[in-house]
Amino acid sequence: MGESRFTTPDLRTAPGAAVRATCRAGSLTGPTPGLARGFVQANLVIVPSDVAFDLLLFCQRNPKPCPLLDVTEPGDFEPKAVAPGADLRTDLPGYRVWRDGQLVDEPTDVRALWRSDLVSFVIGCSFTFEAALLDAGLPVRHIELGVNVPMYVTNLPCRSAGRFAGPLVVSMRPMTPAQAVAATRVCARFSRAHGTPVHFGDPAALGIADPTRPEFGDPVEVRRGEVPVYWACGVTPQAALMQAKLPFAITHKPGHMFLTDLRDVDLEGE
Amino acid sequence: MGESRFTTPDLRTAPGAAVRATCRAGSLTGPTPGLARGFVQANLVIVPSDVAFDLLLFCQRNPKPCPLLDVTEPGDFEPKAVAPGADLRTDLPGYRVWRDGQLVDEPTDVRALWRSDLVSFVIGCSFTFEAALLDAGLPVRHIELGVNVPMYVTNLPCRSAGRFAGPLVVSMRPMTPAQAVAATRVCARFSRAHGTPVHFGDPAALGIADPTRPEFGDPVEVRRGEVPVYWACGVTPQAALMQAKLPFAITHKPGHMFLTDLRDVDLEGE
């Protein structure tokens, strides 16, 4: 760490570019929540160009779970719209490599795997609206508890596109009805970060059999006077990707997001 | 016309599906403004699948001029998201056929030209927000005058994508500053119909040399106390298409739009 320009405490208030540079130097391999506060963190999905139209169409047809922030042209590893100068092969703290739908490796650099036909999808993430909820004085239970957000596979199908299909995956945050209304108002500003909730109340309406056993993340208590509030979740495209059993794909490692140059406020509005 | 279920006056208050059925029956070959009031009218661009990723990426990168309402899979002529049961080969009153970037035909039916590799793009149109402006008591000068909206090629480049590149094309409506502010508030609701203006005031800031000579449509007067207000225009993707000189493409004939089942209010919000 002697030569690193940044230490972990610095990265919390550093710009997104500083987090990327630290990843690129090999000095950050851990999760990104809490880093570069105010900068947009994003999901990453990388696929060969022969399925890129299908995946782009899947995202276009399912914008709430898959809000596109940037898509590169084949072979280009620089997401010019959201982080000019960045290198998607090195600038995340962790990656997952998939072959035939199976997780085969979790490297911290994918330069050796790069191909001229790879297309990268940078997709908005819930961290953006959670920061806005906290700023508005609204509770985000899993952050209070220091655990991962509970995520559930629903019985609502996404609109399919070519090889990509699958259920909507949702994240859940418990709130009182008044808080849920205020949260809806806040999240309506962030159409490029999952936007408004997709449901509140009865878990069975989404086909969730046991709310205490989320498919991903950790369970959190819904207290007296609260209802579960459900948002479309960025795990949805990853679930569709796994279901498609592509010969080759790369994603970010969960919680190890791509830091953009966008500010959270940039995801507001149109 | 004897057996037609619809006559021209009926179509003004008919649903979008009735306009489509009339086109399909060959009984409507004229322009669509004023028909199926309250239903969303849309631009149509059809290209072979080998350039569909590039065009989808161009639209994703330039959402203000190219707000996607629906994109079909290769060979599918039914836009399931916006008009289930519709047939994009027959349900518009007029088409344009392009070969090597040249306009070669203006048929009223493209079934004979259909190919299993064609991908259709249904793109939002300014009629949606103009109806909302009129509802809000705001002036839409070219409608008052019964002429076509003035459109200008700007010096602002779109973000390119593969084979598609070109300048932003804008439409112009004269308003007082207070009207322009109110119009911005109204149009902010319609992110899938060009959204808020891109500029107001000095035409030179957009590279417009002579405001009295629009590249498309008709000039309209900017009166004392008014400023020109500019919106991103759906002609932009057509300009990029022409510039790409594709071997084959089909578009709607100008003013001869595709009537969807969506209501104008459906284009509000997220």
Q: Give dist(CA A91, CA A110) in Å, integer.
A: 10
Q: In angstroms, rounded to a whole number, what is the distance separating the alpha carbons of residues A241 and B149?
A: 44
Size of chain B in residues = 270
Indicate if the pLDDT at residue A1 is higher than 80: no
Q: Which of A49, A60, A63 sits opposite B56 (nearest CB)?
A: A60
Nearest neighbour of B191 by CB, restricted to A52, A81, A270: A270
Which of A161, A191, A269 is the closest to B73 by Cβ? A161
Indicate whether this model's pTM tops 0.80: yes
CB pairs under 8 A between A and B: 48
Residues 6+ positions from B94 with CB-CB distance below 8 Å: B29, B106, B107, B108, B252, B253, B256
List all residues 6 or more positions away from B10 whose beta carbon is below 8 Å from its beta carbon: B18
Q: Which residue has the tokens 């707000």?
A: B67
A116 burial type by CB count under 10 A (0-12 exposed, 13-18 middle, 19+ buried):
exposed
- Nearest beta carbon to residue B60 from set A64, A68, A162: A68
Structure tokens at A43: 């999901």
Percent of chain A with pLDDT over 70: 96
Looking at chain A, which residues constitute the CATH 3.30.2040.10 domain(s)?
127-237
At the top level of CATH, the class of B8-125+246-267 is alpha beta
Q: Which residue of B has its CA nearest to A55?
A: B53
Q: Choose among A103, A33, A60: nearest CA to B122.
A: A60
> Cβ distance A19 to A5 under 8 Å?
no
Side chain identity, residue B229: V
- The Cα diameter of chain A in Å comes to 54
B224-236, pLDDT tens digit by residue? Answer: 999 999 999 999 9
Residues of chain A positioned with their CB less than 8 A from the CB of B68: 60
- Which whole-number Å values give the CA distances from A36 to A8, A33, A266, B83, in the listed order? 11, 9, 15, 44
Residues forming CATH 3.40.1640.10 domain(s) in chain B:
8-125+246-267
pLDDT for residue A6 is more than 70: no
Fold of A11-125+244-267: PSTPO5379-like (3.40.1640)
**Is a pLDDT exceeding 80 seen at residue A65?**
yes
Q: How confident is the model over A108-165, as pLDDT tens digits?
A: 999 999 999 999 999 999 988 898 999 999 999 999 998 889 999 999 999 999 999 9
- Mean pLDDT along residues B254-260: 93
The reported pLDDT for the residue numbered B269 is 67
> How far apart are alpha carbons A56 and A52 in whole angstroms?
6
- Locate CATH 3.40.1640.10 in chain A: 11-125+244-267
Mean pLDDT value of segment B240-245:
94
Say what the pLDDT of residue A269 is.
Answer: 67
Partners of residue A49 in chain B, C-beta under 8 Å: 53
Alpha-carbon gap: A2 to the closest alpha carbon of chain B (Å): 41
pLDDT reported for residue B2: 40
Residue A3 reports pLDDT greater than 50:
no
What fold characterizes domain B127-237?
A: PSTPO5379-like fold (3.30.2040)
pLDDT, tens digit, for every residue of B144-161? Answer: 998 889 999 999 999 999
Q: How confident is the model at residue B270 (pLDDT cuts 50, 70, 90)?
A: low
Q: Which residues of B touch A60 (CB under 8 A)?
A: 56, 60, 68, 71
* Average pLDDT value for residue range A45-65: 97
| Residue A2: band (very low, low, confident or very high) from pLDDT cuts 50, 70, 90 | very low
Within 8 A by CB and 6+ apart from B140, the residues are B130, B133, B134, B173
Judged by DSSP in three states, A112 sits in: helix
Would the pLDDT of A221 be above 60? yes
pLDDT digits (tens, 9 = 90+) for A191-212: 888 999 999 999 999 999 999 9
Choose between B255 and B9: higher pLDDT.
B255
pLDDT of B32-53, one tens digit each?
A: 988 998 999 999 999 999 999 9
Residues of A with CB under 8 A from a CB of B: 49, 52-53, 56-57, 60-61, 63-64, 68, 71, 73, 81, 159, 161-162, 188, 191, 195-196, 269-270
Tokens at B140, concatenated: 């839409």
Q: How far apart are the CA of A153 and the nearest CA of chain B, in angstroms?
A: 23
Query: CA B123 to CA B46: how far, in whole Å?
Result: 11
pLDDT at B189: 87
Kindly list the distances between the CA atom of residue B158 and the CA atoms of B64, B66, B169, B251, in Å, as whole numbers in the listed order.
Answer: 10, 10, 9, 20
Residues of chain B in contact with residue A191, where contact means CB-CB under 8 angstroms, are 191, 269-270
Going from the C-alpha of A115 to that of each of A75, A77, A249, B225, the distances in angstroms are 6, 10, 11, 58
Average pLDDT score over chain A: 93
Q: Please give the average per-residue pLDDT across B198-204, as a whole number.
A: 96
Say whether pLDDT at A232 is over 90.
yes
Strand order in the sheet with B227-232: B151-157, B167-175, B227-232, B199-200
